[in-house]
């Protein structure tokens, strides 16, 4: 059992969904991202996704693109991301990395897995890597006891969902909409049926991401999913604070508490 | 010849691959979000069915012949041959409708879009040639069309932006990342993931996730099929070498495919070396890149030590791309084809030389192939060298004016540099 599985089991035991918060490492700075993540961990996130900024983030909308670009312009390195993972895991919260595939391949799949495990990370979410192309990662994750979180989408056939979930561990990431990351004002009508189809294929917890931005949406999603994943809304708070770290922390805390209340209401 | 794809689509798959999941040796594959997997599977199936349907291929052949103007001529460039010291044959893709080989690809993909019952196409474009071709095919086949183009490219190819808009397409300048072709692809993929139920992505080159490299090849391979037959008819023999410029590599794979099994025909791709490979300001992906994953395929990528994509540089917007089609990566790795760098200065020298000797103004992309071929001619004197002249240069006149100082009464000096001395850098010229 990884810390990730524990986090979902704990939430399930409390009869609620887990709150999963995403922030990119190195945004606004490496130390700044650690501070921001600590706020999320202290104020109610059960799981933290540390984003690895990438030059070509095809699954991300403008908000996360802007954050990733800013982090890269300030020189964030893969090694810095692992440092953020270490600091995040040290808070006691379950920690996973969300990354496009090329940076992992360049670092070395086996080496990345080893360093992620020793930093206290539980696993990887891979938006552009499906099990079809994941041979070396399946092997490395096995060897280092890391979780593999692949994505399912509203367009996935039942057969694809079975195939994908067979290779998942920790949880399954269900993308609520056909689209890229970004806060949306209404929740997706596609998410519920996708979660139901996914649950027919696996006993793993199912987390729903893409578009959740407030407590009411979190409560709604928590009504049918095991995890509520929030990213762009957090990033937006930091962007809007315009470099005022104190203001950003206050806003992040308020949003986390609202979402944490939401997942307990659902 | 055992996999299912081969049985269903003899036109689409050949001895070079790919396998059933899109791999050319260790390259290619499909590194894409799960949300697009179903659409890519649907596209693969629809394409294979279409290529096996005589009604589809006959209609595509008719469109290519009557509308696009295929087969393009194979032209013996006698004056250029004299300067080069080798027999140079030009495959005149520049004479096709829209002015480049790209029309073959978009007509195929647009007709496939109609067959799949979708009413909207999206495309990315660098130089604007694929965007113009897509907008043209969309107008011709009554499809809605949105073209993503890096903001930097919309500035250096303003004329093509106007052409696309005139043809009824929406042009979206992309302001993220390096604001060039790679970012236009990212933005088109983001559009596609949200609109995939009614929209087809007309991918502009033989790169990207499976099935695009093989699909695009199936639509452009007419270049080489025609050229091979034309060369045999004209010279009574196969050429000693075939050459093409390489950005993503669609014009090159279109030419090369017909010759892959002709062991005596040497194959050369010429990459954009920008200011020179040693300067780091270039787009010579195979020469100087490393194996990685970009835009859905494993291939050579210009990347830093953390796997972040590096910005590429070339005077030619159409070659300014930090990746390359996976089949080219495979052909390079196996040694079947050679990939060599050509600098901006070499390309512009060839650009002017072709204009002065043959009265043909090539696209700057294609000028890279001409430049590389002139170099090759020095190693292979007297040889027959077949060059893919993939596009015409009207769109590049702004760049040429700046490079040569045209319009500032520099005509005589241009004549000197074009036929005797290598053209200088813009700094030296100004």
pLDDT of residue B271: 98
Q: How confident is the model at residue B1 (pLDDT cuts 50, 70, 90)?
A: very low
pLDDT of residue B105: 98
**A102, A151, A156: residue with CB nearest B292:** A102
Average pLDDT over chain A, rounded to whole? Answer: 96
Contact across the interface for A178 and B35, Cβ inside 8 Å: yes
A54-to-A58, A188, A239, B127 alpha-carbon distances in Å = 10, 27, 18, 25
How many C-alpha atoms does B11 have within 13 Å on its Cβ side? Answer: 21
CA distance B310 to B289: 10
pLDDT of residue A178: 85
pLDDT of residue A179: 83
pLDDT of residue A157: 96
pLDDT of residue A242: 93
Size of interface A-B (CB pairs under 8 A): 114
**How does B378-388 read in b/e, with b if 16+ C-beta sit within 10 Å?**
eebeebbbbbb
**B126-143 mean pLDDT:** 95
Of the residues B81, B91, B93, B124, only one is catalytic, namely B124
Instruction: Tell me, yes or no, if A74 comes closer than 8 A to chain B by beta carbon.
Output: no
User: Residues A103, B251, B256, B230: what is their CA dihedral angle, to the nearest 10 degrees?
Assistant: 180
The ipTM is 0.96
CA distance A248 to A180: 24
Residue A71 C-alpha from the chain's centroid: 18
Q: How confident is the model at residue B4 (pLDDT cuts 50, 70, 90)?
A: very low
**A102, A107, A177: residue with CB nearest B293:** A102
**A124-148 mean pLDDT:** 98
Give residues with Cβ within 8 angstroms of B273, minimum separation 6. Answer: B282, B283, B284, B287, B341, B342, B343, B344, B346
3-class secondary structure, B349: helix
pLDDT of residue B430: 34
pLDDT of residue A177: 86
pLDDT of residue B12: 40
Out of A80-84, A168-172, B53-57, B421-425, least confident range: B421-425
Q: How confident is the model at residue B35 (pLDDT cuts 50, 70, 90)?
A: very high
Contact across the interface for A106 and B303, Cβ inside 8 Å: yes
Q: Which two tokens stand for residue B356?
A: 């002065």
% residues pLDDT > 70 (chain B) = 91
Tens of pLDDT along B77-99?
999 999 999 999 999 999 999 99
Average pLDDT over chain B, rounded to whole? Answer: 92
Tens of pLDDT along A70-125?
999 999 999 999 999 999 999 999 999 999 999 999 999 999 999 999 999 999 99
**Which is it for strands B266-276 and B281-283: parallel, antiparallel or unpaired?**
antiparallel
Please give the sequence-ordered ranges of beta strands (E in DSSP) within B204-240, or none if there are none. none
CA distance B370 to B92: 12
pLDDT at B11 over 60: no
Burial class (CB in 10 A: 0-12, 13-18, 19+), B421: exposed
Out of A56-60, B285-289, B324-328, least confident range: A56-60
pLDDT at B428 over 60: no
pLDDT of residue B409: 62
Q: Which two tokens stand for residue B139?
A: 């107008």
Give residues with Cβ within 8 angstroms of A185, minimum separation 6. Answer: A213
Q: Which residue of A has its CA nearest to B309?
A: A55
The question of whether A49 is a catalytic residue gets the answer: yes
Instruction: Tell me, yes or no, if A152 comes closer than 8 A to chain B by beta carbon.
Output: yes
The verdict on whether omega for the bond into residue B380 sits within 30 degrees of 0, i.e. cis, is: no
Please give the sequence-ordered ranges of beta strands (E in DSSP) within B181-232, or none if there are none. 199-201
**B355-376 mean pLDDT:** 98
Contact across the interface for B31 and A133, Cβ inside 8 Å: yes
Enter the DSSP assignment of B116: T
The residue that leads in pLDDT, B155 or A262, is: A262
pLDDT of residue B416: 54
The question of whether A86 is a catalytic residue gets the answer: no
Containing H/E element for B90?
A: strand B87-92
CA distance B222 to A198: 45
B197-to-B107, B121, B330, B346 alpha-carbon distances in Å = 21, 11, 33, 46
Tens of pLDDT along B115-125?
999 999 999 99
The closest of B248, B68, B252, B98 to B160, measured between CA atoms, is B98
Q: How confident is the model at residue B350 (pLDDT cuts 50, 70, 90)?
A: very high
3-class secondary structure, A58: coil
pLDDT of residue B317: 86
> Do residues A249 and A39 lie in contact, with contact meaning Cβ atoms separated by under 8 Å?
yes
pLDDT at B411 over 60: no
pLDDT at B413 over 60: no
B74-to-B71, B89, B231, B389 alpha-carbon distances in Å = 9, 6, 7, 10
**How does A102-130 read in b/e, with b if 16+ C-beta sit within 10 Å?**
bbbbbbebeebbebbbebbbbbbbbbbbb
CA distance B107 to B120: 14
**A184-188 mean pLDDT:** 74
The residue that leads in pLDDT, A162 or B415, is: A162
Out of A12-21, A137-146, B146-155, B302-311, least confident range: B146-155
Q: How many other C-beta atoms lie within 10 A of the C-beta of residue A14?
A: 12
Q: Which two tokens stand for residue B36?
A: 């697009």
pLDDT at A1 over 80: no
**A53-74 mean pLDDT:** 95
Tens of pLDDT along B154-200?
987 888 999 999 999 999 999 988 888 899 999 999 999 999 999 99
Give Dmax (Cα) for chain B. 63
**A180-193 mean pLDDT:** 82
Instruction: Tell me, yes or no, if A68 comes closer than 8 A to chain B by beta carbon.
Output: no
B336-to-A122, B17, B23 alpha-carbon distances in Å = 44, 14, 17
Q: How confident is the model at residue A183 (pLDDT cuts 50, 70, 90)?
A: confident
**B14-38 mean pLDDT:** 91
pLDDT of residue B156: 78
Chain B residues touching A177 at Cβ < 8 A: 194
> Do residues B324 and B286 lie in contact, with contact meaning Cβ atoms separated by under 8 Å?
yes
Tens of pLDDT along B233-280?
999 999 999 999 999 999 999 999 999 999 999 999 999 999 999 999
pLDDT of residue A110: 98
CA distance A68 to B145: 30
CA distance B375 to B383: 12
Tens of pLDDT along B65-74?
999 999 999 9
pLDDT of residue B422: 43
């Amino acid at each position: 059992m990884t810390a990730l599985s524990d986090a979902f089991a704990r939430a399930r035991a409390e009869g609620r969904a887990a709150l999963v918060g995403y922030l990119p490492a190195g945004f606004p700075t490496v130390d700044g991202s650690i501070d921001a993540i600590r706020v999320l961990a202290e104020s109610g996130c059960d799981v933290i996704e540390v984003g690895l900024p990438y030059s070509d983030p095809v699954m991300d909308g403008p908000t996360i693109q802007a954050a990733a670009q800013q982090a890269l312009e300030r020189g964030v390195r893969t090694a810095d991301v692992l440092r953020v993972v270490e600091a995040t895991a040290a808070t006691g919260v379950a920690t996973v990395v969300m990354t496009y595939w090329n940076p992992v391949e360049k670092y070395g799949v086996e080496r990345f897995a080893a360093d992620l495990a020793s930093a206290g990370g539980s696993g990887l979410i891979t938006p552009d890597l499906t099990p079809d192309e994941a041979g070396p990662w399946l092997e490395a994750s096995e060897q280092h006891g890391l979780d593999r979180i692949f994505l399912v989408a509203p367009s996935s056939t039942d057969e694809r969902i079975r195939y994908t979930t067979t290779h998942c561990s920790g949880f399954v990431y269900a993308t609520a909409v056909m689209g890229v990351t970004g806060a949306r004002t209404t929740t997706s009508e596609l998410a519920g049926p996708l979660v139901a189809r996914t649950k027919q294929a696996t006993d793993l917890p199912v987390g729903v991401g893409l578009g959740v931005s407030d407590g009411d949406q979190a409560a709604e999603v928590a009504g049918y999913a095991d995890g509520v994943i929030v990213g762009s809304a957090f990033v937006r708070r930091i962007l809007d604070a315009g470099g005022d770290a104190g203001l950003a922390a206050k806003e992040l805390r308020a949003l986390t508490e609202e979402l944490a209340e939401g997942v307990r209401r659902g | 010849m055992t996999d299912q794809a081969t049985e269903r689509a003899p036109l689409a798959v050949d001895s070079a691959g790919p396998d059933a999941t899109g791999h050319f040796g260790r390259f290619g594959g499909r590194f894409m979000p799960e949300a697009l997997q179903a659409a890519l599977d649907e596209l693969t199936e629809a394409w294979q069915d279409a290529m096996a349907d005589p009604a589809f291929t006959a209609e595509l052949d008719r469109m290519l012949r009557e509308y696009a103007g295929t087969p393009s001529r194979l032209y013996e460039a006698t004056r250029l041959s004299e300067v080069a010291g080798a027999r140079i044959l030009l495959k005149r893709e520049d004479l096709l409708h829209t002015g480049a080989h790209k029309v073959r690809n978009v007509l195929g993909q647009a007709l496939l879009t109609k067959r799949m019952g979708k009413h909207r196409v999206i495309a990315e474009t660098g130089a604007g040639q694929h965007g113009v071709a897509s907008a043209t095919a969309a107008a011709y086949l009554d499809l809605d069309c949105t073209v993503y183009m890096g903001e930097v490219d919309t500035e250096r190819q303003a004329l093509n932006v106007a052409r696309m808009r005139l043809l009824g397409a929406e042009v979206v300048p992309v302001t993220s990342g390096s604001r060039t072709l790679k970012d236009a692809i990212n933005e088109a993929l983001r559009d596609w993931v949200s609109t995939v139920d009614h929209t087809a992505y007309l991918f502009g080159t033989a790169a990207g996730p499976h099935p695009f490299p093989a699909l695009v090849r199936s639509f452009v391979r007419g270049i080489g099929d025609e050229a091979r037959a034309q060369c045999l008819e004209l010279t009574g023999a196969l050429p000693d070498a075939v050459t093409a410029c390489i950005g993503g590599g669609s014009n090159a794979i279109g030419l090369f495919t017909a010759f892959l099994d002709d062991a005596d025909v040497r194959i050369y791709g010429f990459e954009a070396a920008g200011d020179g490979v040693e300067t780091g300001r270039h787009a010579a992906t195979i020469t100087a890149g490393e194996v990685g994953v970009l835009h859905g395929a494993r291939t050579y990528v210009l990347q830093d030590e953390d796997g972040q994509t590096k910005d590429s540089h070339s005077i030619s917007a159409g070659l300014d791309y930090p990746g390359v089609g996976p089949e080219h990566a495979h052909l390079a790795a196996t040694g079947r084809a050679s990939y060599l760098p050509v600098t901006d200065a070499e390309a512009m020298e060839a650009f002017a030389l072709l204009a002065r000797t043959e009265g043909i103004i090539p696209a700057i992309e294609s000028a890279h192939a001409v430049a590389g071929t002139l170099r090759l001619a020095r190693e292979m004197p007297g040889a027959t060298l077949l060059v893919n002249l993939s596009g015409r240069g009207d769109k590049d006149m702004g760049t040429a004016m700046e490079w040569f100082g045209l319009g500032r009464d520099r005509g005589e000096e241009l004549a000197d540099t074009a036929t005797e001395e290598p053209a200088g850098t813009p700094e030296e010229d100004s």
